[in-house]
């Protein structure tokens, strides 16, 4: 379908179950598929007052089972990579697994950790995604972002992006990542492939497979704490614990998997119960990595207000 007001494909009442890694069934009132940053900016400007949501691979998000009224803009078609020597300029919609393999093909090291992360570059930069003692910000030089409030495109250097653990300035400012530039290290393909294989083996033994519906790590690891979030959840007896079709993953308690027909309410109730028990046992306020999108019931509203404090 073509929107009559802007020349871009969009869909009404679009089913989102295949557009979030938790596989929650939810319906978007409007779903847009821009081909490039120009179209993306045009959609944002047109629907600015409706708080449009930029969606990549749909990891680290929980869609409401009641649906999403805000316009959703999906970046999957914004997937170009420009390669020059050791430098890559990457569009926001490029999937991280593909980016890792692209770097391998060019004999460039620094993206090995991305092979097991189900995200797009936009989401990875937004969250400063990391694994195996590496983060997406390590090799980043600069980023091109759209400043919604001031209606202009900015080129920000790494030090202007406010990176820290699972954090970037994109979470504070009304900025949308368009692309980012990286400088990687040259290495042999054999060495790079070996590290990628090690990372995949680690993921298979510790985390749900990419085909198992989950939204990624549920909670951030707390600072200055003896235990990780997963260890505390495990010590509270949640391994394998289930509410509805949401279950705490047996091999790593900081993951919740969808056993078939999980709802946002199932997920919310399980996350809140875990948060409350860890608070009681360890006096630690766990902070969710997950972002809730869409209509909330009164009960969900109250629980997420507490979870986000």
How far lies 302's CA from each of 18, 116, 296, 305, 309, in Å? 28, 34, 9, 5, 11
Question: CA-CA distance, 13 to 146, in Å (whole number)?
Answer: 27
Q: What are phi and psi of 157, to 5 degrees?
A: -75, 160
With bands split at pLDDT 50, 70 and 90, how would you rate the model's confidence at 202? confident
Residue 112: Cβ within 10 Å count: 24
What count of residues does the chain have?
309
If one looks up domain 9-74 in CATH, what number appears?
3.30.43.10
Token pair recorded at residue 298: 């009164």
Residues of 188-226 as b/e, b for ≥16 C-beta within 10 angstroms?
Answer: eeeebeebbeebeeebeeebbeeeebbbbbbbbbbeeee
State CA 138 to chain mean position distance.
18
Residue 142: Cβ within 10 Å count: 18
Q: Fold for domain 229-307?
A: 3.90.78
Residue found by looking up tokens 């319906």 in the block: 27
Residue found by looking up tokens 């805000």 in the block: 70
- Whether the pLDDT of residue 146 is over 80: the answer is yes
- What average pLDDT does this structure show over 127-148? 94
- Whether the pLDDT of residue 181 is over 80: the answer is yes
Q: What is the pLDDT of residues 149-176, one digit of tens each?
A: 999 999 999 999 999 999 999 999 999 9
Question: CA-CA distance, 32 to 20, in Å (whole number)?
Answer: 15
Out of 1.10.3720.10, 3.30.750.210, 3.30.465.10, 3.40.50.1360, which CATH number does the structure's domain 81-204 have? 3.30.465.10
- Whether the pLDDT of residue 2 is over 50: the answer is no
Question: Percent of the chain at pLDDT above 70?
Answer: 98
Question: CA-CA distance, 256 to 245, in Å (whole number)?
Answer: 10
Q: What is the pTM of this model?
A: 0.91
Which of 191, 192, 196, 187 has the alpha carbon at shortest distance from 116? 196
Question: CA-CA distance, 127 to 163, in Å (whole number)?
Answer: 9
Domain ranges of the chain: 9-74, 81-204, 229-307
Residues of 67-101 as b/e, b for ≥16 C-beta within 10 angstroms?
Answer: ebebbbbbbeebbebeeeebebbbbbbbbbbbbbb
Q: What are phi and psi of 44, to 5 degrees?
A: -60, -45
Q: What is the pLDDT of residues 34-56, one digit of tens each?
A: 999 999 999 999 999 999 999 99
Q: What is the pLDDT of residues 269-308, one digit of tens each?
A: 999 999 999 999 999 999 999 999 999 999 999 999 999 8
Residues 88 and 69 sit within 8 Å (Cβ to Cβ): no
Question: CA-CA distance, 186 to 202, in Å (whole number)?
Answer: 24
Active site residues: 166, 217, 289
Residues 250 and 241 sit within 8 Å (Cβ to Cβ): no
């Amino acid at each position: 379908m073509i929107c009559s007001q802007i020349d871009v494909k969009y869909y009404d009442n679009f089913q989102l179950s295949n557009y979030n890694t938790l596989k929650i069934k939810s319906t978007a009132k409007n779903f847009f598929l821009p081909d490039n940053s120009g179209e993306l900016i045009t959609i944002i400007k047109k629907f600015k007052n409706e708080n449009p949501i930029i969606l990549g691979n749909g990891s680290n998000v929980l869609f409401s089972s009641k649906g999403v009224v805000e316009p959703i803009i999906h970046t999957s078609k914004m997937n170009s990579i420009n390669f020059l020597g050791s430098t890559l300029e990457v569009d926001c919609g490029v999937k991280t697994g593909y980016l890792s393999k692209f770097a391998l093909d060019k004999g460039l090291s620094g993206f090995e950790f991305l092979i097991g992360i189900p995200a797009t570059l936009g989401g990875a930069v937004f969250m400063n995604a990391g694994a195996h003692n590496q983060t997406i910000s390590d090799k980043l030089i600069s980023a091109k972002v759209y400043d919604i409030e001031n209606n202009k495109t900015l080129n920000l250097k790494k030090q202007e992006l406010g990176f820290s653990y699972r954090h970037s300035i994109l979470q504070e400012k009304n900025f949308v990542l368009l692309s980012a530039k990286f400088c990687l290290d040259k290495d042999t393909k054999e060495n790079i492939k070996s590290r990628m294989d090690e990372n995949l083996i680690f993921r298979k033994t510790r985390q749900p497979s990419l085909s198992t519906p989950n939204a990624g790590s549920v909670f951030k690891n707390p600072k200055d704490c003896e235990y990780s979030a997963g260890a505390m959840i495990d010590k509270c007896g949640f391994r394998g614990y289930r509410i509805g079709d949401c279950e705490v993953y047996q091999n790593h308690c900081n993951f919740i998997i969808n056993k078939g027909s999980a709802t946002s309410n199932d997920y919310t109730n399980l996350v809140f119960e875990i948060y409350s028990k860890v608070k009681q046992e360890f006096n630690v306020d766990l902070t969710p990595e997950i972002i809730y999108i869409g209509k909330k019931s009164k009960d969900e509203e109250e629980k997420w207000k507490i979870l986000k404090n």
